[in-house]
Amino acid sequence: MISAHRFTLLASLLILLPLAACSRLPINPVETAAIASTTVPDPSSTFLPPDPTRTAQPSATAAPLKTATLQPTLTLPDDIRQVTLAAHGVLPNWNYLFTFGFTEKVQGSYRLVVDQNKEYTCTTRNDQPDNLYCDGPMAAFDDFVEYKLMAEDGSLTVLEGRVYIPPEFTP
């Protein structure tokens, strides 16, 4: 048989435990500080020398040398100010022609840009070596257009200007 004292204790626990579970009171667990035991290692037992590593040795082969790339040089007339716009006019299929006159035989490669974005192809002719002929898309009609003749690489402006293309020049 169960003694009265044990019965009271058991009954109290059975009643109080469900009540404690339903309460909204925060439960703060008791924190216990753990003392960590630290040991100081013996330096002679933990020191290991670093592993030897291999270092790169200089090779006996020579590094490849950079080779110079030869580029043709542009030979300009002695007095570049003597390059002139000799003529300009309409071509078939809405193309346009600019003819530039040089004081001597045209040497080197040139390019012509009209209205800042239209690239023209420039060539020479054997029967007229002092002229440079540049043709490309018609930039406008009944209006002014700007042109810029440059060395092929764009490093030097040879001649620039502005011309009027009248409406009767349209194809």
39 or 137, which is more confident = 137
- Partners of residue 104 on adjacent β-strands: none
Tokens for 31, please give them. 């924190």
Which tens digit of pLDDT belongs to each residue from 62-119? 555 554 444 444 454 444 558 999 999 999 998 999 999 999 999 899 999 999 899 9
Burial of 6 (0-12, 13-18, 19+ CB in 10 A): exposed
Which tens digit of pLDDT belongs to each residue from 118-162? 999 999 999 999 999 999 999 998 999 999 999 998 889 999 999
Q: For residue 52, what pLDDT band results from cuts at 50, 70 and 90?
A: low
- Domains in the chain, ordered, with CATH? 80-165 (2.60.40.10)
